[in-house]
Structure 1
């Protein structure tokens, strides 16, 4: 997406204009970085994106969009997902909760063997801050993400009913079902211990074991050939929600892996995201 080359030697000089023509006539949303406190007083940052056509003093349906990793971060770079949502009338909050990089070692290790705990509190604080500044309509909020963003979405919707819609992409359900099946066996062992020696933690970290708490309409998505976070996770969460009589859908992209690469599928995914949030928000 929009990237340009610059040179810096005492002063900043732009060298290319590659994206200018493709962006001509396209309205882009304004983005602001804000800081706020989480439940335990930890300072957290998030990027707040105003919807295109934003009017001062008006609150908006809002999407809490969560990054993957968790060893990753949102930054000032162009984010096509946030711009897509903003172009369709949504405010977007992109938090960097504990587990994110760029805030020191202690902050980055804040979710080790404790997924869905500190980071859950941090992203909920982001929503609360958005309400406090008047941007967020608390009656119309959605949550979503891909990879660990989808995993954290699962932890969110098993702990709160504040969201009217959720999108969980390439996410985790029952942690033990991935042992020896995905590519993270050693990581699981180092972080959680062996599943037969520490079954309580493996069970505690599995959103599937709290699926009966989900009342948020949820769209599950993933690639058929994903060996990073296999699609069986989304299939199990979807089937469980169907059995419980909850609103849910499952979309599986054939011949796709952890990231969706085929342009027609990328477009389909964006259209489904917008349609899902439009339906409930």
Structure 2
């Protein structure tokens, strides 16, 4: 209840500040360039920056509520660690899940689960997937890579296909280093949506690291993504560092570089691709369908399953449906073939 009240208070505060922008023309305070880890000036007085700071506080409170919910619902069945693992020059948040009783004298398979969304994060929709994986004997790491919300400005900063992929690869390394009972020869990866894109980029950029991979409705062509997304999302994306404020028509290279479809030749990891017809977020014909064709043309080791209008379309992974149950069974049978 404390966290809920805090969120309510933060939202009320945000409304007050937003209203104030109508009446106050505050002088903007420039960010402190001597403190590069601070993405937003913590001492700023202008309303826009104060709103940014308040939004981050709301995200942090929401993530704390997720953590408490996780402990309350699954604390008797899962052992959970919150960690800050090194990635490049930053510390990135993550969660490691193991059975409550684990024989650390034996080697166990590991699994990296990668969330999607523009500024997604661990939330309650992933709890049953994580529990399912742990019940199958996996030690799971769930990195909230840079671009995730709930951890402040530095982690929130987005760099599609760059920092997210680096963080996921470093999360895998951290899992092996910090938990020596995880077998490096039995490491898998599982991603949905943007997490599917990162999964594909991870097995393309580090072809030997993972022994099996699962992509669920993953984004494979970033140029196509930018063509059909609404303007507000496109404008949020172009401001990222690698795009330099330019759309693909003005700066095509960086968009091509982070499109997994352009690097299928580099894939060595056995891969299972799941998708559904009717996906309005990552359309089958533009993304997973073309990926399957490219994998087949190159003789890659893969399997695929396309559902017919699965409930929830793009987010069918999270529904209590026959399709989701079938997908779980197929995915973990596939992973088990290579990791058990």
CA contact (8 A) 1:51 1:92 kept: no
Match in the other structure for 2:106: 58
CA contact (8 A) 1:68 1:146 kept: yes
What is the alpha-carbon distance in structure 2 between the residues aligned to residue 58 and residue 154 of structure 1? 30
Displacement after TM superposition at 1:32 (Å): 1.2
Question: 1:38-75: CA deviations, max 9, x gaps?
Answer: 1x231112111114641124331011001111412126
Q: 1:163 aligned to 2:219? A: no
Match in the other structure for 2:221: 174
What is the alpha-carbon distance in structure 1 between the residues aligned to residue 77 and residue 193 of structure 2? 26
What is the count of residue pairs matched by the alignment? 258
Displacement after TM superposition at 1:30 (Å): 1.3
CA contact (8 A) 1:215 1:246 kept: yes
2:205 aligns to what SS in structure 1?
Answer: coil
Displacement after TM superposition at 1:235 (Å): 1.1
CA contact (8 A) 1:130 1:136 kept: yes
Which of the numbers 296, 303, 316 marks the counterpart of 1:242? 296
Q: 1:95 aligned to 2:143? A: yes
Match in the other structure for 1:121: 166
Match in the other structure for 1:31: 80
Displacement after TM superposition at 1:195 (Å): 2.3
Which of the numbers 258, 264, 267 marks the counterpart of 2:314? 258
CA contact (8 A) 1:52 1:87 kept: no
What is the alpha-carbon distance in structure 1 between the residues aligned to residue 164 and residue 4 of structure 2? 36
Match in the other structure for 2:335: 277
What is the alpha-carbon distance in structure 1 between the residues aligned to residue 333 and residue 251 of structure 2? 41
Q: Which has the higher strand share?
A: 1
CA contact (8 A) 2:92 2:155 kept: no
What is the alpha-carbon distance in structure 2 between the residues aligned to residue 179 and residue 36 of structure 1? 31
CA contact (8 A) 1:98 1:110 kept: yes
Unaligned runs of 5+ residues in structure 1 are 10-22
Match in the other structure for 1:204: 257
CA RMSD of aligned residues (A): 2.7
What is the alpha-carbon distance in structure 2 between the residues aligned to residue 37 and residue 97 of structure 1? 11
Matches within 5 A, 1:60-75: 60-74=108-122
Moved more, 170-179 or 71-80: 71-80
Q: 1:230 aligned to 2:283? A: yes
Unaligned runs of 5+ residues in structure 2 are 6-72, 239-245
Match in the other structure for 1:139: 185
TM-score (norm: length of structure 1): 0.83
CA contact (8 A) 2:141 2:171 kept: yes
Displacement after TM superposition at 1:190 (Å): 4.8
What is the alpha-carbon distance in structure 2 between the residues aligned to residue 66 and residue 242 of structure 1? 25
Which of the numbers 145, 152, 155 marks the counterpart of 2:198? 152
Q: Which has the higher helix share?
A: 2
Displacement after TM superposition at 1:76 (Å): 8.2
What is the alpha-carbon distance in structure 1 between the residues aligned to residue 333 and residue 100 of structure 2? 18
1:93 aligns to what SS in structure 2?
Answer: strand
Question: 1:209-256: CA deviations, max 9, x gaps?
Answer: 111101111111112001111112111111111111111122111113
Displacement after TM superposition at 1:188 (Å): 2.8
Which is greater in Rg?
Answer: 2
Displacement after TM superposition at 1:152 (Å): 0.9
Distance 1:164 1:98, change over 3 A: same
What is the alpha-carbon distance in structure 1 between the residues aligned to residue 126 and residue 257 of structure 2? 36
Question: 1:156-202: CA deviations, max 9, x gaps?
Answer: 11101210111111111122334544x44552355233322221122
